Amino acid sequence: MKNKKGRNIVLDPMDMIFEPRISFTYKTKEDGEHLKKSTKKLPMEEQEKIVKNFINTWRKKNGLNLK
């Protein structure tokens, strides 16, 4: 049984917000020694391919089989 002097304290937890940013790192054809970050310099098909590969790899690594 609750002590008569006890209070019910209402806490105020902060919301957690994640804001993902996407960028790609790849080796340029001209100079394999340099790495450049860009989403603009890759064709859209290449970007989609990279994202799909990333998601599939992540799913396999984490044992997920989502449809």
Applying CB under 8 A, which residues contact another protein? 2-3, 5-23, 37, 39-40, 55, 58-59, 62, 64, 66
The least distance separating another protein from the CB of residue 45, rounded to whole angstroms, comes to 14
Sorted by sequence, the CB contacts under 8 Å of residue 42 that are 6+ apart come out as 24, 26, 50
The least distance separating another protein from the CB of residue 60, rounded to whole angstroms, comes to 13
The least distance separating another protein from the CB of residue 34, rounded to whole angstroms, comes to 18
Chain-centroid distance of CA 19 in Å reads 9
CB-based contact 26:46 (threshold 8 Å)? no
